[in-house]
Amino acid sequence: MRSRIVGTGSYLPAGVLTNFDLEKRMDTTDAWIRERTGIERRHIVAPGETTVDMAEHAARAALEAAGRSSAEVDLIVVGTCTPDLQFPNAGVMLQGRLGNLGCPALGVEAACSGFIYALSLADKFIRAGEAKLALAVGAESLSKITNYNDRGTAILFGDGAGAVLLAADEEPGILSTHLHADGSYLPLLRCSGGVSAGHAPGGDYITMAGSEVFKIAVNMLARAVDEALEANQVSRSDLDWLVPHQANIRIIQATARKLDLPLDRVIITVADHGNTSSASVPLALDIGVRDGRIKRGDLLLLEAFGGGLTWGSALVRY
């Protein structure tokens, strides 16, 4: 038994923070941000709006797109590094909202690779015969851990959610997933505090060595895409779409060059919502599906990297 994507959904909060808004708050310019990152605006949660609220919108949209009811879902996996509460995990909280009580529900923390990890876990449950209809979700309120006094990170991050509904099928949709992590990179990209290590004075915020992370990301993603293609005996020219993590347009361009893919075969959404961490790949996927670019039968390569460092890929026959 294999898994196929039968529905996608996404959600962006109404609040928008543009580069021009940031110009007023810190020493930066719209031109610098656009040139170095490709980002023009980010969506930010309203006061009281949470990660699970956004996950619910995205999950319901995926269910509606597939014409399936939440009562049929027998597994929920939510990738997030900004859960509402320390516990219950975001998957369980989403399950409580959807009402499919009793099924396993997980929260997965793998920073920006959180959705790829969630998708891989959901696919493995289905392959093992332990689930038939699974939600894999990525949702983040990164604005809650962004330091708006740090121009090196504040320009990058935004809030949002994306979801995929996977159904058991004899024909493979998810052809492979590959997951990786290297904890020795912890100092380069992390949140400065937490429950057990203790909260950082002044608040727990993302800290990052931007240019080092940039170089490592380009190299890791180049290896990750090779790994996915080789494992499936697929050549670069067979790919219809690259659906990359939306961290920085220059990282996306480097990966597309590595694949010899013209940019018009890459789903690029980074200008409109910045880096939404684990929400980024399912958001881009949903946008590409809903605007008609991604069609049934297309071969998609999904990839992400993030804090940890973590990274991974999924090769998908949509």
Catalytic residue positions? Answer: 112, 245, 275
95 in contact with ligand COA (CB under 6 A): no
Strand 174-181 and strand 159-169: the pairing is unpaired
To ligand COA, the closest distance from the beta carbon of 235 in angstroms equals 28
Query: Which residues 6+ apart lie within 8 Å of 233 measured at CB?
Result: none
211 in contact with ligand COA (CB under 6 A): yes
Tokens, residue 246:
């939306």
- Rounded Cα gap, residues 303 and 315, in angstroms: 9
The distance in angstroms from the start CA to the end CA of the chain is 16
Q: Which stretch binds ligand COA (CB under 6 A): 90-98, 148-156, 193-201, 230-238?
A: 148-156
Q: Could you count the other beta carbons within 10 Å of the beta carbon of residue 301?
A: 27
Give the nearer residue to ligand COA in terms of CB position, either 137 or 218.
218
Give the nearer residue to ligand COA in terms of CB position, either 177 or 310.
310
Tokens, residue 195:
């429950």
Give the nearer residue to ligand COA in terms of CB position, either 158 or 306.
306
- Tell me, what DSSP letter sits at residue 200? P
- Where do we find the tokens 């949509």? 318
To ligand COA, the closest distance from the beta carbon of 242 in angstroms equals 16
- Rounded Cα gap, residues 153 and 175, in angstroms: 35
- Where do we find the tokens 């610098």? 32
152 in contact with ligand COA (CB under 6 A): yes
Which of 151, 180, 236, 265 binds ligand COA (CB under 6 A)? It is 151
Which of 36, 132, 223, 265 binds ligand COA (CB under 6 A)? It is 36
214 in contact with ligand COA (CB under 6 A): yes
Q: Could you count the other beta carbons within 10 Å of the beta carbon of residue 103?
A: 18
Q: What is the binding site for ligand COA (CB under 6 A)?
A: 28, 32, 36-37, 112, 151-152, 155, 189, 208, 210-211, 213-214, 217, 247-248, 275, 305-306
